[in-house]
Structure 1
Amino acid sequence: MKRIVLVALCGLLGACSGGDQEELRQWMVDNSANLRGNVPPLPQVKPYEPVPYDAEGSLDPFKSAKIEPDAKYKQAAGKGGAFQPDFEARELRNSLLEKYPIESLKMIGYMNINNRPLAVIQVDNKVKQVRVGDYIGLDFGMVTRITDKGVELRELIQDSAGDWSERTSSLYLQSKEGSNK
């Protein structure tokens, strides 16, 4: 039985190896004679033309004064606008929470005393109570609303032209799980 299978296998291999494939070769030569790749020409490269840059008279985008005011002398820098803060009142308040950026403050508690909400704010290792109308943060942030979930603020920020505008920010209640993240 093994011999019959071996003889049949050899016969099949012999039939495939030789033979007349001249017709196939002639067809390949005829059809590939006129084949040429069609690649479109590259676009014309324009020469580089440098553009002169004149930084004189422009505002430096990397100055910290553009981002946040740190002195009362900035108040004369621009037109001011309708929202210009009272720098002297800030100095008179001398609040601890106004000396830290809002990002470093944590709301760690909420209380409701005599139907007046209070937020408990922690900065470094100090804890302060905050009411609606108190100021916190470096951007003249006034507390406008206190809920059991967070504190809403109205901040005054100065743009690069020296104009003051309002923005709203929030400080959310931090749980013990959230403070370890």
Structure 2
Amino acid sequence: MNTVRCGWLALLLGGLAGCGGERDFSDLDTYMDEARLELPGPLEAVPTWAPYPLFSYGAASLRSPFSAQVMAGEEGLVWGEPRGEPRGEPDRLRPRQYLERFGIEQFEMVGTMVGTSGAYALLRGAGAVHRLKVGDYLGRNEGRVVSVSETRVEVVELVPDGQGAWLERPRSLSLNTHS
């Protein structure tokens, strides 16, 4: 057992003897000297910023834009009257046309075509160019084509006013000359 201990002790002392001695770090010192020469001079001080002025929200006491409008009438406070006309309600029994599946924003006018049966507008959208005449429907809001000219298509949409009535909203598509 003594010989085993002596063997381990000799091995440990031999390992420690290899860690001593003078080492050559000249290449590392040269690299560090070059790196120190490339450092920029003193850094600029961080600028000071003026504090941002505080904002005080003062509309907390006003009516919410999402609630119905209340007006002062002869009988006191009255809810706002519907602005649309009930007679403008869309025809639910009318068969839907193909272009009513898409939003009117997807279409652009690319030309016109005049035939024996009248003027047609050429609209690009929904993956193709479509031909429409006065009376055709377009868009998700019951948009009916009311006039076709060389540079513009006029459409009237029926949109709910949120109070049970319907409003007619005019829209137009102008000729896109850059397509």
Deviation at 1:150?
A: 1.1
Q: Distance in 2 between matches of 1:168 and 1:117?
A: 20
| Contact 1:80–1:162 (CA under 8 A) maintained in structure 2 | no
Structure 1: how far apart are the matches of 2:146 and 2:132?
11
TM-score (norm 1): 0.51
The partner residue of 1:141 within 118, 140, 143 is: 143
> Which structure's residues are more often helix, by fraction?
1
Q: CA RMSD, aligned part only?
A: 2.9
1:157 to partner: Cα distance: 1.0
- Work out the percentage of aligned pairs sharing the same amino acid: 32
Deviations 1:122-168 (A, max 9, x none): 11322211011101111111111100101011111111212101121
| Unmatched 5+ stretches in structure 2 | 1-57, 69-83
Structure 2 partner of 1:132 = 134
Count of residues paired in the alignment: 106
Q: C-alpha deviations, 1:77-120, integer Å up to 9, x for none?
A: xx97110001231xx23x22111111111111100101610011
**Structure number with higher strand proportion:** 2
Moved over 2 A (4+): none
Give the Cα separation in 2 of the matches to 1:157 and 1:125.
26
CA distance in 2, matches of 1:85, 1:115: 27
Unaligned runs of 5+ in 1: 1-47, 60-78
Matched, 1:97 2:102: no
**Could you tell me how far apart the structure 2 residues matched to 1:125 and 1:87 are?**
27
Amino acid at match of 2:168: E
Q: 1:87 maps to which residue?
A: 92
Partner of 2:86, secondary structure, is coil
CA deviations 1:25-65 (Å, max 9, x no partner) are xxxxxxxxxxxxxxxxxxxxxxx9x86x99xxx46xxxxxx
Q: Per the alignment, in what secondary structure is the counterpart of residue 107 of structure 1?
A: strand
Higher relative contact order (CA 8 A, sep 6+): 1
> Given residue 99 of structure 1, which amino acid in structure 2 is its aligned partner?
R
Residues 56-71 of structure 1: pairs in structure 2 closer than 5 A: 58=67
